[in-house]
Amino acid sequence: MKDLREPGYNVQTAWASEAAALDQINQLHNKHLIRRTGAFKTDKNYFIMFEWADGGTLRDVWQRPNVDHTELHGHRIMQVLEQLHGLAEALSKLHNRASPMLHNGNDPSPLHRVKTILEPSSPGAPKVRLHDDGDNIDNAGEEHWRHGDLKPDNILLFKDITSPWLGTLKIADLGLAKQHAFATAQRVDPTRQKYGTSHYEAPEVIIRRHAPRSRLYDIWSMGCIIFEFVIWLLYGYPGLQNFYREKPPTSRDTLYFTVNPTEDFAQLSDIAKNWMDYMLRFDPECNGKSPSVIGDLIKLVRDHLLVVSLPQGPVVCEFLVAKFMNANLTNEYPVDLSRA
């Protein structure tokens, strides 16, 4: 339950606006987006109720000592892929929740990071379909949504007896989600919402600080989350802690990107690149002769999600996430338990 009593704005207006927005999100009927269950006020207090997440947050999952990451096999890998598929699909539906608006006649400028839509083409092979904003998915005469503060703490776990190891993950804290017109993604006026969580922020927060945040901002954040999920799968929470302890070169930089002194150019950080390169080259889950699902996830993040700028023009790429080493899921996924 969210208590809307923050100072500095009209609480009643904010309450009504957020409740209405969450109602629209409920209409997406996506099981990986948290649902609003009620809204009420008492005296001067305004509340919004959500379904209860009985499993905590994704970060809680990573921190739990009783979740044994070393027992990694095909079924658990499939559970992770299904949940990542669901989260990306939910984000895609949120981004592409469109309602007609009056077209202003201006064509939108091309944006620079691919959006993701994960489409299962067959039960054994979930696929990731990547589009940039030059694709025809977006229409300049429609309105869309973004989240703006994606992080493991805003992804909640709902226990599921059919998937007891991981459960169902849902995107939450949609109060920060704001509706924006695609046609105005390059507005002069910056979005009024201030910063989210710097660790998961996209480089635009520095190099395009006076521009509004687009939906592509969420894609960078999702790339960070997927990469940390992979680190946890391979090395557990101690591995994640080692990653978090890395020191960015300057206060402008994060673990995921670095910017130049004039703050008009950014690139993937050496920290992130070195971790990815090490995992792909030396980790037995990624460097074997057989195709690697986990290695493919790292490449997905490196090549398609944590990308500061992509060439102009349509980019449509189908990326096979679940190859399952040319075997079915009844076989154990080979894991080097000596890392435990």
Q: Show pLDDT as tens, one digit a residue, over the chain (340 residues).
A: 555 555 555 777 777 777 777 777 777 788 888 887 888 888 878 887 888 888 899 999 999 876 666 667 777 888 888 888 888 888 877 777 654 333 333 433 333 344 433 333 334 433 433 333 333 333 433 456 777 788 999 999 999 888 778 899 999 876 544 444 332 333 333 444 433 347 898 888 777 777 776 777 788 899 999 999 999 999 999 999 999 999 998 888 889 998 888 877 889 999 999 999 999 999 988 888 777 788 888 998 998 889 886 433 323 223 333 333 333 343 444 444 344 3
Q: Which fold has domain 53-339?
A: Transferase(Phosphotransferase); domain 1 (1.10.510)
Domain with CATH 1.10.510.10 in the chain: 53-339
Place of tokens 């739990």: 64
Burial letters 202-220, b for 16+ CB under 10 A, else e: bbbbbbbeebbbbbbbbbb
Q: Is the dihedral of CA 40, 145, 151, 318 positive or negative?
A: positive
Q: Which residues contact 79 (CB under 8 A, 6 or more apart)?
A: 163, 165, 166
Return the pLDDT at 265. Answer: 81
Q: Are strands 125-131 and 115-122 parallel, antiparallel or unpaired?
A: antiparallel
Q: Is the dihedral of CA 309, 183, 181, 86 positive or negative?
A: negative
DSSP 8-class letter at 183: G
Q: Which residue type occupies 153?
A: D
**33, 90 contact by CB (below 8 A):** yes
Q: Select from 125, 162, 332, 147 the least CA-distant residue to 222.
A: 147
Return the pLDDT at 121. Answer: 38
Q: Please tell me the distance from the alpha carbon of residue 30 to that of residue 26, in angstroms, as a whole number.
A: 8
Return the pLDDT at 8. Answer: 56
pTM above 0.95, yes or no: no
Return the pLDDT at 152. Answer: 94
Burial letters 229-244, b for 16+ CB under 10 A, else e: bbbbbbbbbebbeebe
Q: Are strands 125-131 and 316-320 parallel, antiparallel or unpaired?
A: antiparallel
> Which tokens go with 151?
């992080």
Question: Could you tell me the end-to-end alpha-carbon distance of the chain, in angstroms, rounded to an integer?
Answer: 38
Return the pLDDT at 153. Answer: 92
Burial of 330 (C-beta count, 10 Å sphere; 0-12/13-18/19+): exposed
Beta strands in the chain (DSSP E): 2-4, 36-42, 45-50, 99-100, 115-122, 125-131, 142-146, 155-158, 168-171, 178-181, 257-259, 266-268, 316-320
180 phi and psi angles, rounded to 5 deg: -135, 150
Number of neighbours of residue 47 by Cβ within 10 angstroms: 16
